[in-house]
């Protein structure tokens, strides 16, 4: 397993921003992406943190992310709209879409905003957390590459299609829950590759359809809880793809195949103002009571405490932002180097295999 180094959040932000600007991204957009990736790593979501910089840098340098998108908001109703991202960097496009949705939800009580033509947008928890900090309930989901073997099938069709939810609390940071609709997100397997670490045998299958523990042999991911995860990823694809007139299922563009072209991905954001349904302070107090009651449940054997879903990520964030973030030594070395990218993703399949590089 690779060793880790502890990096201060400010240094990690600076190194990521510097690498992305070297690839051709503006300082403003690189700053937004860096903030997002630091958030992911600090939250313990290393699959969506600095491990992604090499890929982003290669796609930016090769023109597959629009460096100067004219992001526009098309209001389609008092509570609905579409953000046209022109295949800009996903973190930039979706953050702007989230800000539009926040403004609309505060005005109308609810906001359903679709995002058309974006690129990989990273950890969805970042966006729903922003909305919850504005006292809104938030739900978001997006498409991804066809990497998942559907329940009962042999060939990949849907992507990991993550779903994230957030709610404001009376005390402390918002309650945030973020999950892939597969047993594990593809980024977790990327993270395992970077650490030269095996994966559990229920995460994925190899080219022959058999369970594999080698992250380099993965050719299909498995839906969480079989048919239930299969249904959730279908729902996410319909709301973030078909609903916006975008490619869906196996027609969604590959993350790695052609890094010179935009991916035309979709994302869906739904925000709700609790004050349109109940007293805000009472609602936030109820969330707080729920958290307290969960903490008071006696833990099962082998567990120290019951946490609400997503709480460990928040505890990680508080700890790592204060004490420094653990980063894989090889990733940190790349960020310190003069290399913009390693030219290892272009032409690869959905699992970053058989590319032009290593």
pLDDT at 168: 98
Residue 301 has pLDDT above 80, yes or no: yes
Q: Please count the CA atoms within 13 angstroms of the CA of 87 that sit on its side-chain side.
A: 16
Residues 6+ apart with CB under 8 A from 338: none
pLDDT at 2: 61
From 31, 56, 51, select the one nearest 326 (Cα to Cα): 51
Instruction: Calculate the average pLDDT of the chain.
Output: 94
pLDDT at 154: 82
- Distance between CA atoms of 168 and 287, rounded to whole angstroms? 8
| Sequence ranges of the chain with CATH classification 1.10.1530.10 | 4-64+312-336
Residue 45 has pLDDT above 90, yes or no: yes
Q: What is the pTM of this model?
A: 0.93
The pLDDT confidence band at residue 134, using thresholds 50, 70 and 90, is: very high
- Whether domain 4-64+312-336 has CATH 3.30.200.20: the reply is no
pLDDT at 257: 86
Query: pLDDT tens, 17-26?
Result: 999 999 999 9
Query: pLDDT tens, 155-210?
Result: 899 999 999 999 999 999 999 999 999 998 777 887 888 788 999 999 999 888 88
Three-state SS across 134-196? CCCEEEEEECCCCCECCCCCCCCCCCCCCEEEEECCCCCCCEEEEECCECCCHHHHHHHHHCC
- Distance between CA atoms of 109 and 93, rounded to whole angstroms? 23
- The mean pLDDT of 30-46, rounded to a whole number, is 97
Residue 355 has pLDDT above 50, yes or no: no
Three-state SS across 38-64? HHHHHCCCHHHCHHHHHHHHHHHHCCC
- The mean pLDDT of 110-137, rounded to a whole number, is 98
Residue 358 has pLDDT above 50, yes or no: no
27-42 helix and 90-108 helix, angle to the nearest 10 degrees: 80
Residue 216 has pLDDT above 80, yes or no: yes
Query: pLDDT tens, 62-75?
Result: 999 999 999 999 99
Write the CATH number of the domain with boundaries 72-188+223-276. 3.30.1370.60
The catalytic residue positions are 120
| Sequence ranges of the chain with CATH classification 3.30.1370.60 | 72-188+223-276
The pLDDT confidence band at residue 281, using thresholds 50, 70 and 90, is: very high
pLDDT at 89: 98
The pLDDT confidence band at residue 353, using thresholds 50, 70 and 90, is: low
The tokens describing 253, both together, are 């563009």
Cβ atoms 93, 83 nearer than 8 A: yes
């Amino acid at each position: 397993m690779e060793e880790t180094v502890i990096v201060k959040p400010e240094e990690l932000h600076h190194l990521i921003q510097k690498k992305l600007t070297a690839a051709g991204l503006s300082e403003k957009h690189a700053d937004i992406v860096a903030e997002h990736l630091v958030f992911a790593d600090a939250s313990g979501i290393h699959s969506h943190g600095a491990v992604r910089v090499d890929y982003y840098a290669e796609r930016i340098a090769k023109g597959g992310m629009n460096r100067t998108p004219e992001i526009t908001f098309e209001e389609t109703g008092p509570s609905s709209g579409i953000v046209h991202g022109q295949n800009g960097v996903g973190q930039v496009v979706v953050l702007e879409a989230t800000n539009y949705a926040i403004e609309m939800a505060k005005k109308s009580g609810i906001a359903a905003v679709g995002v058309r033509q974006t690129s990989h947008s990273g950890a969805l928890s970042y966006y729903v957390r922003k909305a919850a900090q504005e006292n809104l309930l938030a739900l978001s989901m997006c498409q991804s590459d066809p990497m998942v073997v559907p329940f009962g099938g042999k060939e990949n069709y849907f992507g990991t299609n993550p779903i994230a939810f957030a709610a404001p609390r009376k005390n402390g940071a918002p309650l945030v829950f973020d999950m892939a609709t597969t047993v594990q997100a593809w980024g977790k397997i990327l993270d395992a590759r970077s650490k030269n670490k095996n994966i559990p045998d229920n995460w994925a299958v190899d080219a022959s359809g058999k369970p594999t523990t080698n992250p380099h042999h993965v050719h299909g991911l498995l839906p969480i809880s079989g048919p239930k995860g299969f249904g959730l990823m279908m729902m996410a694809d319909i709301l973030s793809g078909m609903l916006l007139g975008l490619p869906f299922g196996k027609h969604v563009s590959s993350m790695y195949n052609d890094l010179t072209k935009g991916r035309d991905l979709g994302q869906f954001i739904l925000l709700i103002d609790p004050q349109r349904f109940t007293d805000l302070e009472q609602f936030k107090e109820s969330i707080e009571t729920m958290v307290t009651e969960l903490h008071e449940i006696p833990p099962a054997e082998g567990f120290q405490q019951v946490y609400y879903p997503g709480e460990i990520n928040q505890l990680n964030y508080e700890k790592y932002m204060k004490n420094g973030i653990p980063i894989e030594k090889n990733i940190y070395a790349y960020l310190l180097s003069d290399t913009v990218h390693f030219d290892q993703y272009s032409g690869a399949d959905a699992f970053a295999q058989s590319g032009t590089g290593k």
